[in-house]
Chain A
Amino acid sequence: MYELTNVTKTYNTTKKKIVALDDVTLSIPDGQMVAIQGPTGGGKSTLLQMLGALDRPTSGDVQLGSSTLSKLGDHRLAAIRAKEVGFVFQGFNLIPTLTALENVETALAPLPGSGADRRQRAQDALASVGLGDRLTHLPAELSGGQQQRVAIARALVKRPDVLLADEPTGALDEETRDEIMDLLESFWRDQGLTLIIVTHDSGVARRAERRLHIKGGRVTELAGQPA
């Protein structure tokens, strides 16, 4: 359960002050699938950073479960990211020198558990995204869709409460886009995830229970039923 109260995020550049999020108040119940849309520079990624404990707001409160993310130090935020939040990025963001299996294992490195246990869980996660036979491939040896599957396995291997995806299909063709969306949706359904997807693609957004629009840092509900 997310509770955002009067969240404002400003960036101070040398020239001017940019208001990326402007007094956002929002709540997202557990297990909801939310799409965030809006023009470029509207503040979508900034909102995702607040939700994903990547950054703290300039003012206002961000609450995830029992944790007030806006008040925690870097170390605590890192621990929350390690345990509770999964990320999927537009550019896949795999470590180029590591194999698919090792990339998935990086998500388990900050968590307790033996090496063998980590390996087994990473293998299972890769198998669950259909890449059980690509364990030792380097990212460069995989297609875009396969790379994004590895990234999804990396995000989900730790069984997070929340999966945040910033334009996960932005770099993929339409067919692959649908495969990836099917995969994300099935995990959302099976694991009771809160799934929040930033997208430019209304085809993707239509699949969500709830659609948010963000422009000039201000959030509006677009369609669907707020829970």
Chain B
Amino acid sequence: MFGTYLRRELVNRRKQSLIISIGMALAIGLVILVNSISGGVQNAQAAVLSSVYGVGTDITIHQAAAAPTAGANPGRFSFGSGTGETSGGTTTLAQSTLTTSRTETVFAATDLDTVKATSGVQAATGTLSLTNMTFNGQLPDQTQTGTTGGTEGTGTAGQPGAEAGGTRPSGGADGAGGSSFDVDNFSVLGLDPSGASVGPLSAVTLATGRLLTAADAGTDTAVLDASYATSASLATGGTIDIGGTTFTIVGTVSSSGSDSETASNVYIPLDVAQTLSSNAGMISNIYVTAASSSGVDSLASALQTALPAATVSTQADLASTVSGSLSTASSLVANLGTWLSIIVLAAAFLIAILFTISGVTRRTREFGTLKAIGWSNRRIVSQVAGESVVQGLIGGVIGIAVGLVGILIVNIVAPTLSGSAAATTAIGGGASGGRSGGGFGAAAKAVATTVTLQAPVTLGIILVAVGLAVLGGLLAGAIGGWRAARLRPAEALRSVG
């Protein structure tokens, strides 16, 4: 009887059923679509982050720089007497220095041991993030420099942040007999050459040559980012001057997954980086993989306790550093999408409830009659609830179809999003170098990534959708059923009208 009655009601009161179901379908479809896009945006963010931090990095640790002390400005070139060749009143200089980032400070590599000893850490590796600045140019002889223009030219030429350097004055332009120079920046990352499973190089694909190996420790070998190598006209088998030392380029790497640059322009063995930059036993970043993905937050706070001076960031913290259209999409989905889903869902529930109540009111005499011939309240409530749940389920099924079509459209259109991980850690040196060195056609900069948005469909989303549809139906059915239960059986006797 239950089934027959339910079927007859749904079929014969098609309009009411359809309105409830379609309302539910739109809401469920929207929930699925928003959920899926949000998943896609998260994947995209993860792709951007992994191109910077490597795959499987759950937590990164760095230490922010203390306020710079006077005279300790890294990146200052020192030109003593006898440097360069002097001819005809100008000195020709070619000097490169390897320095640590201005925004970060190095810390003892023993902190890495502390991290590795913390429970919940599966793997950890330490890196030293450096910036190499190469100065190429001619300076007017100090003695011949006039009082105009030249002071600036000589006094600040070595400071990459200075305006004078940024405009690349050519000889004569400053009216002082001319200084002509070029400053080139690129980021250098010292890392454990034995190839850790965690860290910046875990998300790269070998383009040419080979990666660093344990045997490279202590040797002047370098691996270059493929796109940097192209732009700097360097190739595997060639050499590169880093901090005044000539390194052999053994390979180039490109980012796997996305068409972005990798975390650094140049990768060299950690011990060599430490020696060259006079940072023996020091590192600037630690990459941590947590033993369990659910324990990331508690591990982060444990690490923060163990290393009070350090800044401990989780992937979630890092995701907020991703900028560009990806971050716009992310906040759009998070804000507009979520609110829209909630509002439409609430509206659909409300429609279902109101229509169910009005249906019960219209059927007052019908339910009164059924009660008069012996139907219990429970039987009537379950009849009303059954109708609502089935309407909700039909809406849910249509909604899933609508949602899947929406997802299909998104995936066919496949909008591209660009994200920039202006991170504070691995490319911290690059970021600040890029900023100050921007005027020089900066070699070091934040890693920009273009990702195609793909909205994934998960079983979880479908189950949530079905759950919501049933919930909406149950809610409407419970309220409608409650109304029906309150009807007096004597309503059946009310005169026709």
Contact = CB atoms under 8 A, between A and B. Distances in A.
B4 A98 contact: yes
Contact of B373 (A74, A82, A98): A82
A96 B12 CA distance: 9
Contacts of B1: 102, 105-106, 109, 115, 118
A171 interface: yes
Given A48-B493, A102-B4, A102-B5, A89 B376 contact: no
A166 B495 CA distance: 10
A115 B2 CA distance: 11
B489 interface: yes
Contact of A78 (B13, B377, B488): B377
Interface in A76-106: 78-79, 81-83, 85-87, 89-91, 93, 95-98, 102, 105-106
Contacts of A89: 369, 492-493
B493 A166 contact: yes
Among B1, B9, B13, chain A packs the most CB atoms within 10 A around the CB of: B1
Contacts of A158: 374
B163 interface: no
B66 interface: no
B370 interface: yes
Contacts of B12: 96-97
A20 to B, nearest CB: 11
Interface string B251-272: 0000000000000000000000
Interface in A140-157: 154-155
A39 interface: no
Contact of A97 (B8, B373, B374): B8
Among A54, A85, A86, A118, chain B packs the most CB atoms within 10 A around the CB of: A54
Contacts of B375: 78, 82, 106, 109-110
A168 B9 CA distance: 27
A107 interface: yes
A102 B8 contact: yes
What is the interface residue range for chain A against chain B? 35 or more
Interface string B356-382: 000000000110011111111101000
Contacts of A83: 374
Given A98-B4, A171-B496, A78 B365 contact: no
Contacts of B488: 54-55
B9 A91 contact: no
Contacts of B11: 97
B14 to A, nearest CB: 11
Contact of B5 (A54, A98, A107, A166): A98
A78 B5 contact: no
A15 interface: no
B9 A87 contact: no
A170 to B, nearest CB: 9
B366 A95 contact: yes
A97 B371 contact: no
A171 B379 CA distance: 30
A45 interface: yes
B365 A91 contact: yes
B490 interface: yes
18 contacts: A45-B493, A55-B488, A74-B377, A78-B376, A81-B371, A81-B372, A82-B374, A90-B495, A90-B496, A93-B366, A95-B370, A96-B12, A96-B366, A98-B4, A98-B5, A106-B373, A115-B1, A158-B374
Interface of B: 1, 4-5, 8-9, 11-13, 365-366, 369-377, 379, 488-490, 492-493, 495-496
Interface of A: 45, 48-49, 52, 54-55, 74-75, 78-79, 81-83, 85-87, 89-91, 93, 95-98, 102, 105-107, 109-111, 115, 118, 154-155, 158, 166, 171
